[in-house]
Amino acid sequence: MKLKKIASLMLAGVMAVSMLAGCEGSANSGENNGEENQVVAASVADYANSLLTTAQKNVFEFKNSADLTAALQKIAGDSTKYGSEDIKNAYESPVTTVAYEDKIQSDLKDDLDLDVVNTNQVMTATKKGTQAYGYFYALSGKLTEASAVQLIVKRFVDGVYSRDFFPATCAATSGTLKCDYTAEISAVKVTAPDTDKNSAWIVGIVVTQTATEVSNAGA
């Protein structure tokens, strides 16, 4: 009888330890899953802003835009507007080659209600008001999203705005205007409808300038 009792107690002890180990294992498993779920991927705006200097960030930082993304997807994803040959040309271009995407800029201008698209000139202001400029680029789908966006932003900063990166004030015909800026950026990848071999990145930047009059200028 004593042997049976001892055996029963030992069995109960083993089961308790097993259950405790099982609970601990489950808890640890949950913690690991939680840590993995906390990893957040960088956004298009994050890729872009990582290239800006502190002085440039004082003027503006890029923001993600759902409207810009939707417009790019609508136009670039329409094979009647941006077809297989266009995508193939972009895909086969060297990965460092960046081209203005003239073929779809007029549609994007209308969809996004832009004042100007794809100009090489720095924004100017001669009177108070708001104006929005759009810049649209195509490059090879061989690039990663981060590489594509950063290549565009580097060209944008070093090329279009190489001299004055959006001056904080701008001269008006009479008096002085103060200019503030916001910028949105998005990137979509489109694949040729007749073959999934060819793909292209279409990257869009929209900069909005708001010019206000400075009271008692020069006082």
166 Ramachandran zone, left/alpha/beta (phi>0; psi -120 to 50): left
Q: For residues 30 and 63, state if they share a domain.
A: no
Token duo for residue 211: 């010019």
Do 145 and 83 fall into the same domain?
yes
Does the predicted model carry a pTM greater than 0.85? no
Tokens of 7: 């055996």
Residue pair 187/203 in contact (Cβ under 8 Å)? The answer is: yes
The total number of residues shown for the chain amounts to 219
Look at residue 218 and tell me if it is in a domain: no
Residue with tokens 């990848």: 189
Note whether 15 and 66 are same-domain residues.
no
Calculate the average pLDDT of the chain: 78
Residue 219 lies in a domain: no
**pLDDT, tens digit, for every residue of 15-62?**
444 444 444 443 344 443 333 333 345 899 999 999 998 888 888 899
Q: Does 196 lie in the same domain as 137?
A: yes
Q: What is the CA radius of gyration of the chain?
A: 28
The pLDDT tens digits for 86-95 are 999 999 999 9
